[in-house]
């Protein structure tokens, strides 16, 4: 499980990974402060932590994982924040993780599905593995074209609408309830 408690002062990278400290706790872009003022209550804290986590990836330099990882570029960070803002309206807060190829992934796992959205300098790739036989799906495109409809598709896969049980109504009238003559 990804720890968000130390953010934005530090980044914790998964199980047993290294701990990095950022040089600043200020957001890289004014979109974060503007966005935080318009967030709906209830989810703002977790999404603000996710924004801070993305910002903290700017401090990861070459070989940040000890295995030759590429740094996370400002363009990838900008795109990840752009996509996260769209996700905030309909999706649960994702786990946010840097990838050794310089991209950023958003990951979710619910009883219904596992979803991974990877965002890079110009593009995104989405994979959803539905657990209840609903069918897997893949999508990709320009990172800046990610829209609310794409976010809604992730939300539905993670928490599909429940089918209401059919209503069965049986009305019986006794002979004494029939109108007379």
Tell me, yes or no, whether 169 lies in a domain.
Answer: no
The answer on pLDDT for 24 being more than 60 is no
Q: How is residue 12 written in tokens?
A: 């914790």
Q: How is residue 69 written in tokens?
A: 């990882």
DSSP class of residue 132? T
pLDDT in tens, 101-160: 999 999 999 888 899 999 999 999 998 888 766 667 788 899 999 988 888 888 888 886
Number of domains present in the structure of the chain: 1
Tell me, yes or no, whether 178 lies in a domain.
Answer: no
Q: How is residue 58 written in tokens?
A: 């700017």
Q: Are 128 and 91 in contact (CB under 8 A)?
A: no
Please give the pLDDT value at position 88.
86
pLDDT in tens, 69-111: 999 999 999 999 999 999 988 888 899 999 999 999 999 998 8
Give the residue with greater pLDDT, 128 vs 169: 128
- What are the residues whose beta carbons fall under 8 Å from the beta carbon of 28, sequence distance 6 or more? 55, 58, 74, 77, 78
Arithmetic mean of pLDDT, 43-59: 86
Cite the beta strand spans of 77-170 per DSSP E.
95-98, 104-109, 113-119, 123-130, 137-142
Tell me, yes or no, whether 167 lies in a domain.
Answer: no
Tell me, yes or no, whether 107 lies in a domain.
Answer: yes
Cα–Cα dist 13/98, whole Å = 8
Q: Is the pTM of this model over 0.75?
A: no
Q: Are 55 and 77 in contact (CB under 8 A)?
A: yes
Tell me, yes or no, whether 1 lies in a domain.
Answer: no
Arithmetic mean of pLDDT, 15-37: 37
DSSP class of residue 177? G
Give the residue with greater pLDDT, 121 vs 19: 121
Q: Are 83 and 143 in contact (CB under 8 A)?
A: yes
Tell me, yes or no, whether 4 lies in a domain.
Answer: no
Structural domain containing residue 122? 10-161
Tell me, yes or no, whether 46 lies in a domain.
Answer: yes
Tell me, yes or no, whether 32 lies in a domain.
Answer: yes
């Amino acid at each position: 499980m990804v720890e968000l408690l130390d953010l934005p002062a530090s980044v914790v990278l998964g199980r047993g990974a290294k701990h990095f400290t950022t040089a600043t706790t200020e957001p890289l872009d004014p979109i974060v402060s503007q966005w935080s003022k318009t967030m709906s209550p209830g989810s703002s804290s977790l999404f603000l932590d996710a924004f801070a986590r993305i910002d903290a990836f700017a401090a990861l330099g070459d070989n940040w994982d000890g295995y030759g990882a590429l740094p996370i570029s400002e363009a990838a960070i900008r795109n990840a924040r752009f996509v996260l803002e769209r996700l905030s309206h309909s999706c649960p807060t994702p786990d946010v993780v840097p990838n050794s190829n310089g991209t950023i992934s958003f990951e979710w796992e619910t009883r219904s599905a596992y979803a991974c959205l990877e965002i890079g300098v110009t593009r995104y790739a989405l994979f959803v593995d539905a657990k209840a036989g609903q069918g897997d799906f893949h999508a990709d495109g320009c990172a800046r074209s990610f829209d609310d409809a794409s976010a809604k598709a992730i939300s539905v896969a993670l928490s599909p609408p429940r089918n209401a049980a059919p209503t069965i109504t049986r009305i019986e009238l006794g002979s004494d309830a029939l109108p007379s003559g």
